[in-house]
Structure 1
Amino acid sequence: MKENNQLVVFGLNNQHYGLQIENVSEIIRIMEITRVPNTQYYCKGIINLRGAIVPVISLSLRLGLEENKLGRDSRIIVTETIKGKLGLIVDSVYSVTRYSNDEVEKSETMNGEDRFIKGILKEENDMILLLNLKEVMED
């Protein structure tokens, strides 16, 4: 039986990633992003989301991947943690899925080297890499 854990499943560079739904406040279409000088290479700028200033990053660049051009399916996943809000630009958002903790596997090949990935969830013929949002938000 599946526990009540839920993931927002999204795509980056033809790979599926998952983010725990309790960290997601909303998913929005790409909007105008105001650039901020002297920020990290993966920081795209800030957006005004109903009066709240939200920093936005390219999740692809943050994870060390090649950045795709923004397209019709591109989205900003607005996350919220104790540290505040952060917008993550992703190639597309697919679904919300349920999973149980015992379905999550640690990768033998990663050997804990990828601090951005908490584990792997196998689903049918696909693998979903579970994102460690806390590490993504660290400088």
Structure 2
Amino acid sequence: MDLRAISKMLPTFDSLWQRIDREMLARGLSAERARLEAYLTERPSIEDGRVWLSALGLERIKITEWPLEVATSHGLMFLNHPLLRGGFLDDVYECFEDPHLADDLMKTVSEDLPSFTPLFAQRGALSGWKI
């Protein structure tokens, strides 16, 4: 399968979000799942970017997208990965009121790497002209 097909199937870290959601569901964490869903729903898409640039009056809008495979290992290597920590994974932790519960869930997910790898970040660049 070519990378363009993969990028259409798996927007940024969707395989990870799906794995976290399955773990929350298995543990009956409905409030945390609702918070995760709210977070995922508010993530802007490349199409949102196109709309914003158009609303600013830009013309000849160009969009380029490409997938970036994020190689990682399990456990602490995953939980402290520089492309994940300080952003995406922290957003998951914010779905929890109990930090110990968040740690336990994320430890379980981090040990189950095959269930969500390969892990892709969908990268994009937008440009436009103001004429």
Same fold (TM over 0.5): no
Higher relative contact order (CA 8 A, sep 6+): 2
Normalised by the size of structure 1, how large is the TM-score? 0.26
Normalised by the size of structure 2, how large is the TM-score? 0.27
**Quick check: which has more Rg, 1 or 2?**
2
User: Which has more strand, going by share of residues?
Assistant: 1
